[in-house]
Amino acid sequence: METDNPQNQNNAPASVDVNQPATQPEQALGEPAAQPVGEAPLAPEAMEQQQNEENRAPISIEPPVGRFRAEGGQESFIILNPANQRYAFKVKTSNIDDWRVRPVYGFLEAQNQSELVVQRLDGPPTDDRLVIQYALAPPEVDGPRAPFQNGNGAVIGEVTLPVKGE
């Protein structure tokens, strides 16, 4: 007696060609693939939240904009790392004549934060920006400059801090 069951009479699995891609004959073209067994489909809101989290930069800076008097001043910012990974960072400026930052290089430990001190020197009013580049920094990396040296392409992202001298 023959059946549509892919297993033979003694319940051994039917042979499968591992070189052929798995197919789902009941799936029409253009339809999403079936959900893997044991996983419930995500609600649209959960899918959007998951996508936003994937697209979000691993680090951020607070406050998101710096406003200074053109005559000069100093302000502290907080670089936040909510991720479970350690990052090294490097701060660059679009105008080295009017801005100083401390530290220029540093580490952001997993789920931690670091203070960034920005100083505006006396000068004409300007709209500038600070760019905080970051790279993964495994525990064996000793200094925060290492990932950025020799053009090794370690930078994985950056966050821009607009700064204004008004």
Q: What are the residue boundaries of the structural domains of the chain, listed by start?
A: 60-165
User: Using CA atoms, how far apart are residues 164 and 155, in angstroms rounded to an integer?
Assistant: 26
Sequential pLDDT tens for the chain (166 residues):
544 544 444 544 444 454 444 444 444 444 444 444 555 566 666 555 554 444 456 899 999 999 999 999 999 999 999 999 999 999 999 999 999 999 999 999 999 999 999 999 999 999 999 999 999 999 898 899 999 887 666 899 999 999 999 9
pLDDT of residue 77: 98
pTM for the whole structure: 0.65
Structural element, H or E, at residue 91: strand 87-93
For domain 60-165, which architecture applies?
Sandwich (2.60)
Q: Quickly list DSSP for 100-165.
A: EEE-SEEEE-TTEEEEEEEEEPS-S-EEEEEEEEEEE--TT--STTGGGGGG---EEEEEEEEEEE
